[in-house]
Amino acid sequence: MKISKVFASSFLFLTLMGANVNGQDSDTTGLPGDDFSLEGALEMFKKASGPEAFEKLINAENNKVNNLDLNEDGLTDYIKVINRKDKDVQIFVLQAVVSENEFQDIAVIELEKTGAESAVLQIVGDEDIYGEETIVEPGDESGNAYLDFTNSPEGLISGPSLATTSTDAIIVNVWAWPAVRFVYAPGYRLWVSPWAWSARPIWWRPWRPATRIAFAPVRYSYRRHYVIVPTRRVVHAPVIYRPVRVSSVTVRNRNQVAVTKYRSTTVTRGGHKVSRKSTTVTGPRGNSVKRTKTTVRRRRN
């Protein structure tokens, strides 16, 4: 009798564990973005005193934000932070050091001061890493959020983590974050990370990346206070970023098949059917541009 109870309990435990793993697996993409937590990066930015401290936090092994090994040398890649500014808009490019001569942008934090004591912030995952631009922002924080009815997405959802996507037009004021106040203080000088392949900080030691199965629960733990949204808040940020975006040929070629498959598949999550279709448009001068269209349909009861 006791043996049967133990067996039943063990079976239930394994079933629940399996369901949990399957739920996490259904939210993975098979792309490099599975190895870098956008939500974790925002959490580190929230904790940091400034951009330099932020760079240290995202590269600290114990914070488990970065698990990337884009050059497949068996060790994690160092992530640089590069700050640029145009008036009240600032961007912070998170860039992986792939080799002596190659770098790959992972994401960009877009920040705008919107008032004397107000600011908005988002992080946008790079399309080469996440398959498409993935926008993450802070969720509702008591006393620091307000409604934005003008930019309401009205149910249009996109991104590789549909289960955590929010359609609520709630914007969090991040002015209280120490790093935000620091970069808008008088006399602040833009942080441009000085580190490179052959010049790494003495405090950093690369480590062997965890498997994606092992890294996934840690990545999900950062999602509690952040949401994926379809709307960009800082509309001027792409104007600053596009001319300086960096993409590694090695990384792009290595993940081309997986990225193409991701952009052309249909998945069903959270009651929504998401179809991604990539097409190449050729102009009159022979120039080709690839366009990706994401269509979301709500499942009817």
In a domain, 283, yes or no: no
Which segment of 132-136, 245-249, 280-284 scores lowest on mean pLDDT? 280-284
Length of the chain in terms of residues written: 301
Residue 212 tokens read as 């994606």
In a domain, 60, yes or no: yes
> Based on the structure, what is the number of domains in the chain?
1
pLDDT in tens, 176-208: 999 999 999 999 999 999 999 999 999 999 999
Report pTM: 0.76
As a whole number of angstroms, the distance between CA 285 and CA 297 comes to: 36
Q: What is the mean pLDDT of residues 112-130?
A: 97
**pLDDT value of residue 105:** 99
In a domain, 190, yes or no: yes
Q: What is the mean pLDDT of residues 40-69?
A: 98
In a domain, 291, yes or no: no
Indicate if the pLDDT at residue 10 is higher than 70.
no
Mark 30-66 as b/e (b = at least 16 C-beta within 10 Å): bbbbbbbbbbbbbbbbbebebbebbbbbbbeeebbbb
Indicate if the pLDDT at residue 233 is higher than 90.
yes
Phi-psi sector, 34: left (phi>0), alpha (psi -120 to 50), beta: alpha
Q: For the chain, give the percent of residues with pLDDT over 90.
A: 63
**pLDDT value of residue 139:** 92
Task: Identify the bridge partners of residue 137 per DSSP, sorted by sequence position.
Answer: 227
As a whole number of angstroms, the distance between CA 267 and CA 292 comes to: 15
Indicate if the pLDDT at residue 167 is higher than 90.
no
In a domain, 180, yes or no: yes
Indicate if the pLDDT at residue 136 is higher than 60.
yes
As a whole number of angstroms, the distance between CA 33 and CA 107 comes to: 10
Indicate if the pLDDT at residue 275 is higher than 80.
no
Indicate if the pLDDT at residue 258 is higher than 50.
yes
Which segment of 58-72, 94-108, 274-288 scores lowest on mean pLDDT? 274-288
**pLDDT value of residue 291:** 52
As a whole number of angstroms, the distance between CA 55 and CA 120 comes to: 20
**How many other CB atoms sit within 10 Å of the CB of residue 93?**
24
As a whole number of angstroms, the distance between CA 292 and CA 73 comes to: 31
Containing structural domain, residue 194: 31-247
Indicate if the pLDDT at residue 166 is higher than 50.
no
In a domain, 179, yes or no: yes
What's the Cα-to-Cα distance from 129 to each of 68, 116, 125, 222, rounded to whole Å? 10, 35, 7, 19
Mean of per-residue pLDDT scores for the chain? 81
Q: What is the mean pLDDT of residues 136-153?
A: 62
In a domain, 280, yes or no: no
In a domain, 282, yes or no: no
C-beta contacts of 197-205 below 8 A and 24+ residues apart? 197/97, 197/99, 197/100, 198/100, 200/78, 201/56, 203/56, 204/59, 204/78, 205/61
